[in-house]
A and B are shown apart, each in its own frame.
Chain A
Amino acid sequence: GAGVSQSPRYKVAKRGQDVALRCDPISGHVSLFWYQQALGQGPEFLTYFQNEAQLDKSGLPSDRFFAERPEGSVSTLKIQRTQQEDSAVYLCASSLGVAAETRTGELFFGEGSRLTVL
């Protein structure tokens, strides 16, 4: 499809396991965002990429969280040594680019990856 694609949709991990969540943004989109959404809460910003450059990682909750976008397209969010508090939906969003956002203001979100840590 033409939208933002995330995989896996559901992931169950045992505490202490490492997980990797993938995001395929819309083709040609320069900006890519990761958000974390706990149950009953609004999404919370984790990190932002412009092409392959990670320009803002201020929202990453700990050094167990790592994100990359090596070729400026697909991005991976990696969580090491998962803890129960990491259980959440992880949302990826993309947008055309910096200048375009002043015109449309639109971020396109994927359906998210639901992580459950037991």
Chain B
Amino acid sequence: DAKTTQPTSMDCAEGRAANLPCNHSTISGNEYVYWYRQIHSQGPQYIIHGLKNNETNEMASLIITEDRKSSTLILPHATLRDTAVYYCIVRVVDSGAGSYQLTFGKGTKLSVIP
């Protein structure tokens, strides 16, 4: 799986949009971009994933550049409960047998400030 690069930490004011960048310049055509987050003392939680189109769900939006070499996770109105480590992961997904494990990096520690 391709590697990702994320800033170590970011701050965001409560109520403002949090924009978390991720570089994945070696991504392959069959690799998806996934975002997970991990709140302190909890297991990681799925946020969103996409292949090449922008995606939106109730938690966040995912913007993937046209060349797919980078993406941005957007939390539109950050709350204190969004303080967590955010992981950007690229991963092959197919229907054949094999492992579908996620390869986590160190992620971005997002601190939402009152």
Q: Which residue of chain B has its CB nearest to the CB of A114?
A: B41
Number of interface residues of A (CB under 8 A): 31
Given contacts A91-B44, A106-B46, A111-B43, contact A101 B104 (CB under 8 A): no
Please pick, from A43, A58, A95, A104, the residue contacting B44 in the complex, using a CB distance under 8 A: A43
Which residue on chain B has the smallest CB distance to residue A48?
A: B99
* Minimum CB distance partner of A4 in chain B: B43
Given contact pairs A93-B43, A105-B34, A111-B42, A50 touches B97 in the complex (Cβ within 8 A): yes
Residues in B with CB closer than 8 Å to A44 are: 104
B44 lies within 8 A of A101 (CB): no
For window 77-118 of A, CB contacts with B under 8 Å fall at: 91, 93, 95, 98-99, 101-102, 104-112
Q: Is the CB of A43 within 8 A of B104?
A: yes
A1-25: contact bitstring with B at CB < 8 Å (1 yes, 0 no)?
Answer: 0001000000000000000000000
Instruction: Check A102/B95 contact, CB under 8 A, given A42-B104, A44-B104.
Output: yes
Q: List A residues at the B interface (Cβ < 8 Å).
A: 4, 31, 33, 35, 41-45, 48, 50, 55-56, 58-59, 91, 93, 95, 98-99, 101-102, 104-112
Q: List 21 A-B contacts (CB under 8 A).
A: A33-B101, A35-B104, A42-B87, A42-B106, A43-B44, A43-B102, A43-B104, A45-B103, A55-B99, A91-B44, A93-B43, A93-B44, A98-B95, A98-B97, A102-B95, A105-B32, A105-B34, A105-B46, A109-B42, A111-B42, A112-B43
Which residues of B approach A to under 8 Å, CB–CB? 32, 34, 41-46, 49, 85, 87, 93-107
**Top 9 A-B pairs ranked by shortest CB distance?**
A109-B43, A42-B104, A56-B99, A105-B49, A106-B46, A45-B101, A48-B99, A43-B104, A109-B44
